Structure 1
Amino acid sequence: MSLRSLPEAKALLEAAGTVRRLWVPPPADSFGTVGERTGAAAEALPTLASGAWAADVRPLADEALELRSGLTAQPPERVLLHGDFRQGKVLAGERTPWLAVGPRPVVGERAYDLARLVLDRCEDLAAGPGPAAAARRRIAKLADSLDVDRDRLRGWSLFRAVETGLRHGAAGDRRRAELLLEFAGWL
């Protein structure tokens, strides 16, 4: 059973407790950095956004690239991150109530690790009333509960939503692409 099986508010609370335990000082030069990991994605964004289907999202792709550039220029901290943290990667455990699985370790700031969590269940937000306000509340709630800068969390969430959305669109999954890009627009 993963956190996705819980109601959203409870899942976010449990996710916050789980991810907090994961963040530790990084060992010396063992893992790549968030800047390195996102570099290839940033280079691919202009090409992904050049498709005819993506014409309306080019300004959003430009914003995502600008945000990423600023976020990687002066990272506020260096922490060992899970790298792919989201509700589906947190499973019920025996040693502890919840265990994070499938890490892609990377060194960077905590806001980067939370961005995928912000994107979780975006289809539920889209189906509910006031999705843009709900998305912003989710960022505020996570940032406040884990002492992360809201603007940095918003920036990483927008970058990851645009990058993932454009990749889905290029692969032919337009429904998922449109949902992620709409989510990015709410931010």
Structure 2
Amino acid sequence: MSAPAPGQITAPDWLTHSITAAHPAEAAGWLADLPALVAAQLTRLDLTLDRVLDPGGTLSLVAYVHRNDDLTPAALKVSLRTPATAHEPEALTTWAGRGAVLLLDAHRTPTSGVLLLERLHGEVPLRSLAEPKAMLEATSLLHRLWLPLPDPPGPALPEAALTLPETAPALPEATPLLTEARETATALTASATERFLLHGDFHHGNVLAADRAPWLAIAPRPLVGERAYDLARLALDRADTLVGSPGVPAAVRRRLHQLAEALDVDRDRLRGWTLVRAVDLALTALAANRRPEAELYLEFAGAL
């Protein structure tokens, strides 16, 4: 097989597998069109491709590029357009670099979203820090991202949160937790009073070292809703170390208490959303045939 021509891309295997598992109907066509789309955007923006990041994102190809006029480094992100990714440019525009990667250009096609972003240090995620320091940095950053706006970009939280299926396929032992998660999500969305712009997928892997600031958030899946929903995803970070520690229920309660106190979030609502998001992550992992990961999140949910 001949090598790709300069500027031509090949989708990483991780992206191919993850996008096929998540969106089987759209994956083949989108992946087939991806090289031509990237080439067209390199021309439109007068960029030179440096390299494609591997693995990159689960729904996005990410490439390091530089501007031809002044050699400024940047990152080109091309995503399959889904409800989860559709409002990323609006959220980044709202933040305008405050706590998040800076958006330099945005372009949409019927099936894709194309973002030109400032280049961060992709090899240095917040996960590279020890957990106590990482959590301290993460909570500080979340506090900056949460904006109380009347009509921020993104779908309303009930629309995003109440998507849990009735049953867990191939994992019948999860059914009691799934039932509880559905009931909890319904109760929490019915009683929510906050309307904040949320990141939607905030965890240590989605925070990178930067030159402009110590740490900046990337890859939002923006939502409108209460802060406890966003904080719940952070509570689930490094679940393997927490589940592997002695006294798991006590360790989980301690983490929730510390996070809720650090950001002045109601602890009971944080517990509820953490249950919902743990079950959701378990089902997502199961759909992608990652059963050990699914079982990990279900064990975390059970500890709640």
1:131 and 1:108 map into 2 onto residues whose CA distance is 29
For 1:71, the aligned partner's letter is L
Q: CA deviation at 1:97?
A: 1.4
The equivalent residue for 2:210 is: 93
1:58 and 1:71 map into 2 onto residues whose CA distance is 20
Superposed CA RMSD: 1.4
Q: TM-score, normalising length from structure 1? A: 0.91
2:207 and 2:153 map into 1 onto residues whose CA distance is 24
Alignment of 1:61 with 2:61, yes or no, is no
The equivalent residue for 1:119 is: 236
2:293 and 2:153 map into 1 onto residues whose CA distance is 34
For 2:138, the aligned partner's letter is A
Alignment of 1:102 with 2:219, yes or no, is yes
The equivalent residue for 1:33 is: 156
Q: Deviations over 1:127-149 (max 9, x none)?
A: 22222211111111000010000
Q: TM-score, normalising length from structure 2? A: 0.57
Q: CA deviation at 1:27?
A: 5.2
Q: CA deviation at 1:29?
A: 5.7
Which among 102, 126, 140 is matched to residue 17 of structure 1? 140
The equivalent residue for 2:201 is: 84
1:138 and 1:147 map into 2 onto residues whose CA distance is 14
* Higher percent of residues as helix: 1
2:219 and 2:134 map into 1 onto residues whose CA distance is 18
Q: How many residues align?
A: 181
Which blocks of at least 5 consecutive residues in structure 2 are unaligned? 1-123
Q: Deviations over 1:86-137 (max 9, x none)?
A: 1111111222211111111111000001111111100111222222211111
* Higher percent of residues as strand: 2
Equivalent pairs: percent with the same residue?
A: 54
Which blocks of at least 5 consecutive residues in structure 1 are unaligned? none
1:5 and 1:29 map into 2 onto residues whose CA distance is 32
1:24 and 1:136 map into 2 onto residues whose CA distance is 27
